[in-house]
Structure 1
Amino acid sequence: MDIFLRNTNYRKFSLASWLSSAGNILFYLALMTYASRLKNYSLALSLIAITESLPNLIQSLSGYLADRTKNKYHVIVWLAIIRFALYLLVGLLFATNISGWNLVLLVIGLNFISDLSGKYSGGLQTPLIVSLVGENEMSEAQGFTNGISQLITMIAQFAGSGLLLFMSYSGLAIVNAITFLVAGIIYANIGMNVKKQEVNKQPEEVNTQKFGATIVSSLKQVKQANGLLTIVLVIALLNGLLSTVEPLISIVLAGNKNMLIGNYSFTIAVVSTVAAIGMASGSAIGTKIFKNTSLFLIVLADTIATITLAIAIIYGNIFASLFCLTILGFLAGIVSPKLLQWLVTTVDRKILSSSVGLLNTILVMAGPLTTTVFTSIASATNITYALYGIIILGIAVFIAISIVLLKINKAD
């Protein structure tokens, strides 16, 4: 939080990011609510989910384009204006006589274009944030921003459901549009401030390699950092297990009424809330508390929390499960910013966005893969076998990380 308070430009950057995120969540809820009232609502909701997830899978490409972009502040401002225009158009569409599937398909298409623009904008922002806060402060700064963003997400979800009671879909789309316009103005202000502060400015470095060569170069630099590639793959696996735990808990709760707190829906809400609070507090507070703690030690603790959580679920203790899930979320919230810091200090600045995009793609892909595997085991055999599988995998990861850590300490 210190860097947020003392760095004016970074504070403005964070506020612009939070503002546009809140607007996006409000609109997403409105779109999902509208789609849920269609005749074939399951197909509509599936299309929305697919188009929302697809941009996450091409972050390495959007990061590559960002690395090749000059005048990044200028482009970020224009992207914010484009997204403002897109959602203004969406607001107008909701206000017309178009209805049903025709409207939903148009809105999904425009929303998809906006999401692609958002990933490109995110890639542009990464090296700019590093230049604002410095490499050594990147973990704490990004952790605080991510933590507050997660809290805003929770608040916006509740606020969105309340706003839908008296606001139209068109109104929420226009609110979202305005958030991007305001964010664009803030980014423009930061850009002007930075330009005034830069004396004897060096020429801006941009990546001139082709996409394939950039990815190869990024992987080579990551491999040169002892243990970084291993820790990336392990964290991807742990993030996947974290995303797997919630659906497995929902299956267990459906069959074990003794674990319910009140009723099923309330218990599921509590599970989601404690996981989100854990991640938010880990990002916002934990990154500062454990700033000088080895990432390997945090990952080892994360692995132990995963194993303990699976054991608590097997024994049907809901309160122990919630406690372990909170700890797991807290540690996961610390891991991502610390990993980003390591990456920032390892790869060349001109391919930083490509490297971060590649990292995020790996992390995103791990969730659906592990969830599919363990939920399939649960449905094909028994939920207990899936939980035992998580324990065995957790032990294997713990042993692997311990061996890598011993090798690194021995080399040092």
Structure 2
Amino acid sequence: MLLLRRNKLLRRLTLSQFIELLGAAFFNIALLVYASQTSNPKLATTVVVIANTLPTILQIGLGYIADKTHDKLRLMILTRIIQAILYSILTILFGLTTNDWLLFSFIIFINVASDLLSGLTSLAALPIIKHIVPSQDLLAARSLQVSVMSLVNVIGQVIGVTLLTFLDNNFLYFSLFNALLFLISGIVLIVSRLQFNQKLKVTSHQNATSTLPEARFWVSMQINRRIIQSNKKLLHILFLFTLLNLLVGSIDGLISLTLLKYPSIYIKNYGFSLSIVNTMLAIGLVSGSFFTNDFLKRIKLNMLIIILLLFLTLLSLNLVLSPSIYVIVMSFFGIGYTLGKISPRVSTYVMTSVTEKQLGQIAGFMNTLVTLSVPLGQLIFLTIANSVSLNSAWISMVVPSMLLILYTLSYKAA
């Protein structure tokens, strides 16, 4: 918070991103509500889930576009305005169309387009942050932004559903409100554009020596591959972070099935117990990224990864040997809190070790890899749970966790 008070440009950028992320979170939950009201809600909900993953999978291409755009602030402002226009068009469509599937198709298209633009601006923002924040404050800045993103994920959908209920499921007004959010997000950047450009001009001048020749997409991908392969520590971090997300992304589905098996450990009922567990994970994630000066501040990244894996092992062994809702809650908070420490450090390392012209592409590649690892992990562990047993699935979680702990302990460079 002190960094936000001291750094006006970071404060404006974070505010703009917060409003934009809030708008995206609002409409993602509204889209699921609308899907549930169609003539075939199961099919519509499946389409929504698939459509929501598409923008993140395409982050590599978005990173390329972000890196090749010279005026990244202008790109961010334009995308906010385009998003506002898209949701304004959708508002008009809600007023004109009564065919639920035709309208649903337009909603999906506009929402995917908006999410793609959001992904583009998030990658374009990385070099801007690098310019407006001193190098010694980069970790604090990224921690702050991760906590903002996590907070939006926690509160955004709740507020969105509440607002939609207040509007009596009037999607026309809800879409109009969303358009206003994106417009306000753009205005926040427009108001400070002169100060941003002055700062970016000065720092770009200072870093003018670190330029790379322009390259086509596939050539650029080969350059990025060589950059990652030549940087052993980056390769190590990418490998660990991907597998961490594969494991952590799988526990949500497994815990849902496990709680069904053990009604004796419920707090009140199944739904309440599950919501507490998931909420503790979210609170841990927000807290871990927000409190930057805690007792874990001086612990190295490798040790943080080991701590997370130990929490994961504790959770798994508890559910195999003697399930306890309190151990589950504590483990989920510990996993979230530690992950809230790891994510900003990984992001900061990428920002400081990769040249500005490749930053968006490599960050986009990492985002895509991490995104793909989550459904892959869910497929592996849920298949084991359903075809063999839940205990086998949790034991299967312990094995790679212990192997990763041994690998991390043996790695000397980090």
Q: With structure 2 as the length reference, what TM-score do the two structures score?
A: 0.94
Q: Does 1:307 align with 2:313?
A: yes
Contact 1:76 1:184 in 2 (8 A): yes
For the structure 1 residues 292 and 218, does the alpha-carbon distance in structure 2 shift closer, same or farther, using more than 3 Å as the test?
farther
The separation in 1 between residues aligned to 2:294 and 2:366, in whole angstroms, is: 23
1:286 is displaced (CA, Å) by 4.2
- Which range moves more in the overlay, 384-393 or 152-161? 152-161
Deviation by residue 1:342-366 (Cα, 9 ceiling, x = unmatched)? 1112111111111111111111111
Give SS of 1:345's match.
helix
Contact 1:222 1:346 in 2 (8 A): no
How many residues align? The count is 407
Contact 1:279 1:332 in 2 (8 A): yes
1:24-35 map, 5 Å: 24-35=24-35
Q: Does 1:278 align with 2:284?
A: yes
Q: Does 1:388 align with 2:395?
A: yes
Cross-structure match for 1:189: 191
Cross-structure match for 1:320: 327
For the structure 1 residues 401 and 66, does the alpha-carbon distance in structure 2 shift closer, same or farther, using more than 3 Å as the test?
same
The separation in 2 between residues aligned to 1:214 and 1:270, in whole angstroms, is: 45
For the structure 1 residues 275 and 392, does the alpha-carbon distance in structure 2 shift closer, same or farther, using more than 3 Å as the test?
same
Q: Does 1:78 align with 2:74?
A: no
Give SS of 2:192's match.
helix
1:318 is displaced (CA, Å) by 1.0
Contact 2:23 2:181 in 1 (8 A): yes
Amino acid at match of 2:143: G
For the structure 1 residues 37 and 207, does the alpha-carbon distance in structure 2 shift closer, same or farther, using more than 3 Å as the test?
farther
Q: Does 1:252 align with 2:258?
A: yes
Contact 2:29 2:160 in 1 (8 A): yes
Deviation by residue 1:312-365 (Cα, 9 ceiling, x = unmatched)? 222211101110110011111111110111111211111111111111111111
1:56 is displaced (CA, Å) by 0.5
Deviation by residue 1:19-70 (Cα, 9 ceiling, x = unmatched)? 1111222222222111101121111111111111011011111001111111
Cross-structure match for 1:353: 360
Equivalent in 255, 269, 290 of residue 275 of structure 2? 269
Cross-structure match for 1:165: 165
Contact 1:67 1:206 in 2 (8 A): no
Cross-structure match for 1:101: 101
The separation in 2 between residues aligned to 1:398 and 1:270, in whole angstroms, is: 28
Deviation by residue 1:174-210 (Cα, 9 ceiling, x = unmatched)? 1111111111111223331122444596397576122
1:194-205 map, 5 Å: 194-197=196-199, 198=201, 202=205
Q: Does 1:178 align with 2:180?
A: yes
Cross-structure match for 2:381: 374
Cross-structure match for 1:148: 148
Contact 1:67 1:207 in 2 (8 A): no
For the structure 1 residues 288 and 77, does the alpha-carbon distance in structure 2 shift closer, same or farther, using more than 3 Å as the test?
farther
- Which range moves more in the overlay, 206-215 or 164-173? 206-215
Contact 2:224 2:358 in 1 (8 A): yes
Cross-structure match for 2:410: 403
The separation in 2 between residues aligned to 1:296 and 1:346, in whole angstroms, is: 17
Cross-structure match for 2:37: 37
Q: Does 1:344 align with 2:348?
A: no
The separation in 1 between residues aligned to 2:197 and 2:244, in whole angstroms, is: 41
Cross-structure match for 1:54: 54
1:289 is displaced (CA, Å) by 5.3
Unaligned runs of 5+ in 2: none
Give SS of 1:293's match.
coil
Give SS of 2:402's match.
helix
1:293 is displaced (CA, Å) by 2.7
Contact 1:60 1:361 in 2 (8 A): yes
The separation in 1 between residues aligned to 2:44 and 2:134, in whole angstroms, is: 44
- Which range moves more in the overlay, 179-188 or 220-229? 220-229
Give SS of 2:267's match.
coil
The separation in 1 between residues aligned to 2:202 and 2:263, in whole angstroms, is: 66
Deviation by residue 1:201-232 (Cα, 9 ceiling, x = unmatched)? 63975761222332332233333334321221
Amino acid at match of 2:239: L
Give SS of 1:316's match.
coil
Contact 2:382 2:393 in 1 (8 A): yes
- Which range moves more in the overlay, 255-264 or 207-216? 207-216
Measured on the aligned residues, the alpha-carbon RMSD in Å equals 1.9
The separation in 1 between residues aligned to 2:46 and 2:136, in whole angstroms, is: 42
The separation in 2 between residues aligned to 1:64 and 1:97, in whole angstroms, is: 37
The separation in 2 between residues aligned to 1:112 and 1:296, in whole angstroms, is: 36
Contact 1:151 1:280 in 2 (8 A): yes
Contact 1:286 1:333 in 2 (8 A): no
1:99 is displaced (CA, Å) by 3.0
Give SS of 1:178's match.
helix
1:402 is displaced (CA, Å) by 0.9
Contact 2:246 2:373 in 1 (8 A): yes
Contact 1:3 1:133 in 2 (8 A): no
Unaligned runs of 5+ in 1: none
For the structure 1 residues 363 and 177, does the alpha-carbon distance in structure 2 shift closer, same or farther, using more than 3 Å as the test?
same
Amino acid at match of 2:364: G
The separation in 2 between residues aligned to 1:287 and 1:210, in whole angstroms, is: 42
Contact 2:311 2:334 in 1 (8 A): yes
Deviation by residue 1:119-167 (Cα, 9 ceiling, x = unmatched)? 1112211111111113332221111122133223322222222222231
- Moved segments of 4+, more than 6 Å: none
Q: With structure 1 as the length reference, what TM-score do the two structures score?
A: 0.94
- Which range moves more in the overlay, 48-57 or 160-169? 160-169
The separation in 2 between residues aligned to 1:259 and 1:329, in whole angstroms, is: 22
The separation in 2 between residues aligned to 1:291 and 1:319, in whole angstroms, is: 27
